[in-house]
Amino acid sequence: MISVIIVNWNRKELLRACLRSLAGQAGVDFETIVVDNGSADGSAELAEAEFGARVIRNPDNRGYCAANNQGIALARGEFIALLNNDAEAGPGWLAALERACSKRREIGMAASKILVWEEPRRIDKAGHLIFPDGQNRGRGAGALDRGQFDREEEVLWPDGCAALYRKEMLEQIGGFDEDFFAYGDDAELGLRARIAGWRCLYTPEAVVRHHRSATLGKGSARRLELIERNRLLLAIKLFPWSLLWLNPVFFLVRLGAGMAAARRGSGDTAHFPGWRGKWTMACALVRGDVAAMLLAPRMLRKRAAIGRIRRLSPAQLRGLLWAHRLPLREVA
């Protein structure tokens, strides 16, 4: 059986569409767990009354990581599926993920083909890639779907928007790191699983349509701050030292590419127009870096504890990251 976990916060109509898509799943036994982070719009009642979901009601917003960990603790399934409340799954989504994850014992994660809801001919994510400074992004993000991701293949890790995990794997390595709160949390979990020797298989048959950045929005300074903070926390906690020492160099290279994109009016900077927008971006990045440095001692303690699950050597991990690196032209 599969336990599907949906974390929700004040998105009643998006949640309704998400749960309706789950109701159409065929050929697989599953339960639905909705973890509601203090919604005031009747979301929890909707999930329970209209769709028969098991609902965990939090009095306030505990964040994506803590909420998923609550759902994982309650789950009865052999596999744990995560689905964002702003995503809608195709009818064969769960069955395809289960087939992929069941193919070999060492496959602990399965990744979906995630399309942009508003423009389903465009890729949102098809697994993940990572830049050597810790910034990660969906494979193929923004590209037209021309069939280039229609082959089942190994990827670095799945996007938490629509993913499947073995519960056995999560019990071995632990769940989400709650210090991350939101953004980059799936990257930390996925890379920690890879370090422990688990693998991830992408299957194009598991199709999901996703409303991008429906939670905070592309132009949110808070979103940018969390992404920057968690990029650094990921590197401090999991990167081999040989790559971690070079982090500032790779960051400056990526920053330069981003500035070049800004002059062309493209890239993430387009969501922060004008000099005031650029100042907002700069302040958000600085706040993220400061927050990461304050949490660095805790990450270093967690880094030391990784040894109990480690199966990849630092050289093997560096090779894995390099093999799945995000090209500079895409990260900008």
Residue with tokens 């093999």: 323
In tens, the pLDDT along 268-294 reads: 665 666 667 778 888 999 999 999 999
Residue ending a domain, choose from 155, 188, 210: 210
Domain coverage including residue 263: 221-331
Is 318 buried (19+), middle (13-18) or exposed (0-12) by CB count in 10 A? middle
Do 25 and 65 lie in one domain? The reply is yes
CA gap 84, 237 in Å, rounded: 26
Residue 261 has pLDDT above 80, yes or no: no
Do 92 and 205 lie in one domain? The reply is yes
The number of distinct structural domains making up the chain is 2
Supply the pLDDT for residue 279.
81
CA gap 122, 80 in Å, rounded: 27
Residue with tokens 């423009």: 119
CA gap 271, 277 in Å, rounded: 8
Give the strand pairing for 162-166 and 128-130: unpaired
Do 239 and 143 lie in one domain? The reply is no
CA gap 206, 32 in Å, rounded: 18
In tens, the pLDDT along 168-211 reads: 999 999 999 999 988 899 999 999 999 999 999 999 999 999 99
Residue ending a domain, choose from 176, 210, 244: 210
Output the pTM of the full model.
Answer: 0.92
Residue ending a domain, choose from 210, 230, 259: 210
Instruction: Let me know: does 190 contact 109? Beta carbons within 8 Å.
Output: yes
Do 152 and 280 lie in one domain? The reply is no
Q: Which amino acid is at 38?
A: G
Residue with tokens 């065929």: 26
pLDDT category of residue 61 using cuts at 50, 70 and 90: very high
Do 243 and 164 lie in one domain? The reply is no
Supply the pLDDT for residue 264.
66
Cβ within 8 Å of residue 147, ≥6 positions away: none
Supply the pLDDT for residue 277.
72
